[in-house]
Amino acid sequence: MSDYYEILGVTRDASPEQIKKAYRKLARELHPDVATGDGSEDRFKDVSRAYEVLSNPEKRQAYDRGGDPSAPGGGMGGGFGFQDIFETFFGAGQATGQRGPVPRARRGQDALVRLDLELAEAAFGARRELQVDTAVVCGTCSGSCCRPGTSPRTCEVCGGRGVVQRVARSFLGQVMTSAPCAACHGFGTVIPDPCPECSGEGRVRSRRTLTIDVPAGVDTGTRIKMTAQGEVGPAGGPAGDIYVEIREREHERFVRQGDDLHCTVEVPMTAAALGTVLDLETLDGVRELDLRPGTQPAQVITLKNLGVGHLHAGGRGDLHVHVDVQVPTTLDDEQEELLRRFAELRGEQRPASSVSPTHPGVFSKLREKLSGR
């Protein structure tokens, strides 16, 4: 009786998975459709017989005891069905049966373009021009891929089906498989005389200028879709889309948080105490800022509807003005005397100490809000 373990090249304590793996390797090498050497067909039969016994737990147990491996309980070994056999010889994922030819024209790829905007453009919206390098339909062949005056020809290998079929023999019988035609790459037609302008692609590279209307309220990271403005597909296929990603430049005076704007104004101590009217530069031009008498450091004055436009919702955010009261660091004799006299009048020569929470500046507040604290 033959040593089936030796035929498969495995040890007597090999696992079922190791036995299956060894069999599949040998079956690929020795199958009559592949092997050409003398005796390969006999070896293939021996390998198949060894696997039939060792892959079946009952037959393997009987064989290990020296019994008759052809006892009932045969058939193909456990865990090795038709799918395993098919994959062994023809590879996973190939479908039996016929497919039609694939279309030569396919959709083009989408493209991502970045657009830098100033704060005012993001706040109010803008019309901008973009220079993009994309694939466009070939002007010489109009996407046909052929030299003008010629046309595609039906593939002689597959007869226009785009696939070829073959019948392979196995120890289970005949198995029919189909695969894309290598001559026409599955298209069913060939281009005998390609267009000289696009080399048979049906498209060429070109620089185009596009106009985009940016809506009010966009922010860094906002993407605007320009439908069918991307690359034209092979053979003049439908164009993909262009996505324009907004990047907002930092502003020298304003900090944006959502649709609101924040800025800081510096005022002298006397102006904060007595009150004053300042000219404040906003995105809408100069506006008067009324500081009431007794304005405190870090006080916030809100100007309604002077922020950024609400995207898709209408209306605008607000402008928040943070007051930074400037305390003089140097005084001449007269100024110092006047302040001392002022302190005496208010009874503040030796003010009582008191501890109150500090007021963080505008940028500290923004950092805390943005970080979720």
Please report, in range form, the residues annotated as the binding site for Zn(2+): 138, 141, 155, 158, 181, 184, 195, 198
224 Cβ neighbours under 8 A, 6+ residues apart: 212, 214, 215, 218, 243, 244, 246
Task: Decide: 108 and 228 in contact? Cβ < 8 Å.
Answer: no
The helix or strand, by DSSP H or E, that contains position 344, with its residue range, turns out to be: helix 333-345
The helix or strand, by DSSP H or E, that contains position 302, with its residue range, turns out to be: strand 300-303
Q: What is the residue type of 3?
A: D
Task: Decide: 127 and 215 in contact? Cβ < 8 Å.
Answer: no
CA 343 – CA 339 distance, rounded (Å): 6
CA 186 – CA 8 distance, rounded (Å): 39
CA 213 – CA 337 distance, rounded (Å): 62
Which bin fits 267, alpha (ψ -120 to 50), beta or left (φ > 0)? beta
Of 320, 316, 281, the residue nearest 299 (C-alpha): 320
The strand pair at 111-117 and 242-248 is best described as parallel
Phi first, then psi: give them for residue 159, nearest 5 degrees: 70, 25
317 Cβ neighbours under 8 A, 6+ residues apart: 258, 259, 260, 261, 305, 307, 308, 309, 310
The helix or strand, by DSSP H or E, that contains position 208, with its residue range, turns out to be: strand 203-214
Binding-site residues: 138, 141, 155, 158, 181, 184, 195, 198
